[in-house]
Structures are given as C-alpha cells and as structure tokens.
Structure 1
Amino acid sequence: MTGTVGNGEPTALLCVPFAGAGSSFFHPWRELAAGRWRVTSVDLPGRERRILEEPFRNVVEAARGVIDDIVADLGPRTPTVLFGHSLGAVLAYELVHLLTARGVPVERLIVSGSPGPWTQRERRAAGLPDGEFLARVEEFAGFRHEALDHPEMRELILPALQADCEMHEAYVPSVDEPVSVPVCSLRGDSDGLVTAAEARQWQTATTGDFSYVEFPGDHMYLVDQGREILDIIEQVSARGRELAGSLPAA
C-alpha cells in the first residue's frame, strides 16, 4: 500500500480534471486503486453537478475558489498525493502551494501531459469561433469526446471547455518559488501537444525529488491507462519512502 494515516485511513489521492472534464472521469480509479488510496477529485463549477455555475477563467482564482471544499473533504492532517492532467496539472500545482499553507501534508505531485508551469502554449484555441475552437481542441488532444457530436450535450459542455482553455492558455503561476514536494511528470510518448523536454521542465518546479515516466499513447493516453498510472504512482511513492528512510536522522 502507498500508506495510511494514524487512524488506518489510506492516503488521499486528489485528482484534478483536465479541460472540459468533471470529477466523474476519476470515479473508475476508486476501484482500480484497490485500497491503496482514498481517491477523491476536485469538483469545478460549470460541469456535472455544478453545471449551472459560472466556470472559472483563471487558474489561480480557481485554486483559491475550491481550496476550502478540498480541505473539508480531505481533513486537515490527511497525507495527500495530487494528480493532474494538462490543465489539471497546473491547477494541482497551485493547490500544492495552498494545501501546504493550510497544513495539509502533501506527499507528492503527479503531473501529466503538461509543460512546466512557466511555459505557455504557443498555439491557442481560446477566442476562436465555436467550430474552429472544437477543431483546434481536438487537434491538440488527438481525442474527441463523443458527447460533442450531440448538439444538446455540446451546448452544455462548450462553455466550461472554452473557459478551461482560456484559463489554461493564460496561466501564470501565482508565485515564482518551486514547491518542496517531490514531482513526477508523466507523458504519452506520441503526445503532439507536449514534448518530452517540456514535460521534463517540471524538474525546475520542485526542490524535491523529480522523476519522469512515458506511457504509450498521445496526449489523452490516460483515458485507457488508469491502472497503469496508479501503479506508477505507487512505485514512485515507494521509491520516495525508501529514499527518505535511507537519509540520516537530523
């Protein structure tokens, strides 16, 4: 197991959705986790049960807007691992800063499909007309959600997806200081949106241990590889505990 807190509850794995996605994307991970973590996820406005709420258009504001609910869900002393893909990666990065300031013990940050937090995307989708916007997003991701082919569903999904792309493409970190928690960067080996060099930029975002892992697949490799991702999270966490155990006592 990855670890448990003193009351026997497993470490929390807090998952942060990518652009246009809701927390339900990670619900299958609860079973795949097989008790290794308590899998929970961030509920952002503008989707799923919060579909009628106005979506955020700024990553830093989004992190600040959800932090109270996250801390209430996690509990103030629950060891936590964060996972975020693409937009979720930079939002998770902001949440690490906020959770640490709140005293939540963050054990590790797992980022996926994302350049380092100080690198902005050159080609953008925000601001394009709806049809061009969806074509650009599909081009970026190498993936098209079947719901976008249904006009009524597209009308519901599009505002949040547009807001997510806007805040992702305009993202600037709230602070210049790197986090102190270990970071593991994941990437699909044929990702046409994020290069291997860009995915490795996360090494400069932490003063702790850094690791990098590639999976077969494109930008949305995680859709079919939840089990494999969880296995990697367990492996890097185990290596981190071994490394910590080998350090001399202060």
Structure 2
Amino acid sequence: MPWLPFRPRKTEEYGQLAEWVELAQQGNPSVRNKLLEDYIPFIAKTASKTSGRYIERGVDDEFSIALSAFNEAIDRYNVQKGTSFLAFAETVIKRRLIDFYRSQSSRSKDRLLSEFDVEDGEENVINQIEIQKSIDLHKQTVETESRREEIFRFTEWLYEFGIDMEELVEISPKHADARFNAMEVARTIAEDAEMRAYLLEKKSLPLKLLSSKIAVSRKTVERQRKYIIAITLILIGEFEMLQEYIQ
C-alpha cells in the first residue's frame, strides 16, 4: 500500500484518500491501520488546536480520544455528502474532545446563545460560546488540581526541614525590601551547586559558604532562615506554578 500523505492535494483527498477510507469501511484492517498510523500528525494537530495546548501521543488523554474519533470518522464518512474526509474527521475529533471536556465538568452549563450557534459539518448545531467555556473550564480544573498537588508536595518537603506551612505564612517578611533581599539570598543558594547540596543534606542554610558569595548580614539571614529555605526549595524543585507566583 502506498504512503498516505499528511496533507493531500484536493484531487487526492477526494480520490485516493476516499478510496482508502472506503476500503477500511469494507473491513480491510491493514488499510485502516495504515490510515491511523499515517495521519497521527493530523490527529495530534487537531487535538492540540481544539484543546488550546500541545497534545502529546502516549501522554495526554486527548490524543487517545482524538485517535478514537478519527477511527470513528473512517466508519461514518460518506463521500456522497461532498465533504472531504479530513474536514469530516476534524469535525468528529473536535466534537469528541468537546464531549470529553464537558464530561470533566460538574458545573451546569449556561443557556445556549442562539446567535452563536453554527452547524458543525455533521448537520448538528453547536454553540461556540459553550465550547469555549467547556474548554476553559477544563483548563481551570487541570490548573487547580496541579496547584493543589504542587502545594501538597511542597508542604511535605518543608516538613523535612522542620517548617510548617502555616508558620511560613506568619514569618514571611512584611516589607517588600526584606522579601526581595531574602529572595536574592535564596536565588544565590539555588544557583550554586555546593550550597544546594549543603542545604539538601544538612537541612540548614550554608551560612559560611553564603558569606563568601554575597555581602549579607548573618543575623538577618538567620532571622529569615525558614523563609529563605522555603523560597530556595521552590526554586530548585519542580514547582512550576509556585515559581511563577514568587516571581
């Protein structure tokens, strides 16, 4: 079987590609598998476009859903309707992902606004505002869960250094200058391999090493010890959201 192009010319799309789809519909498993394999870039691209973020094969649920939708499109495609197969497959993928996002949300949906209703190519009416809300809501849910997981890991790590999250809130420097200076100390430690190793091994600040790197009052550093340690852990750990927050 010849290679199936990712972006076939129009004549190929309505001709050769439609023929391969028809063969797959007739029960040829090798043709179906070849279609699924060769159009993985198209599937991933459509999923990414619909989700608004990069979708990776074998990592994101959206890819599996999109792959299943593409397979569904093979079964449902009707060349007599005059729509190209790829356009039809894109529509099916988008609808299945939208269904997925809707299923992830327990919130009630806003009333459909008729002026935003459009036909999706399957002769169904969909609402663009509702689609975007579903996608946005899913993103918010993912971000909330990721933030919760980060805070849990951070809290557990702080405990190893004898620091309590509630205590950290209370002892955080109140003045902007003090916070800035403490963060600069934390960055100095985070960027120095020897000081990082000392902190992680001894569970305390490398005061001697630190004094040789920057001119800072040892008394001030000791007073802000827990806060500096916490900021350093955020900087050297896998805490993407917390890092954005402190910056």
Q: Which has the higher contact order (CA 8 A, sep 6+)?
A: 1
More helix as a share of residues: 2
Q: Is the pair's TM-score, using the shorter chain for normalization, greater than 0.5?
A: no
TM-score, normalised relative to structure 1: 0.28
More strand as a share of residues: 1
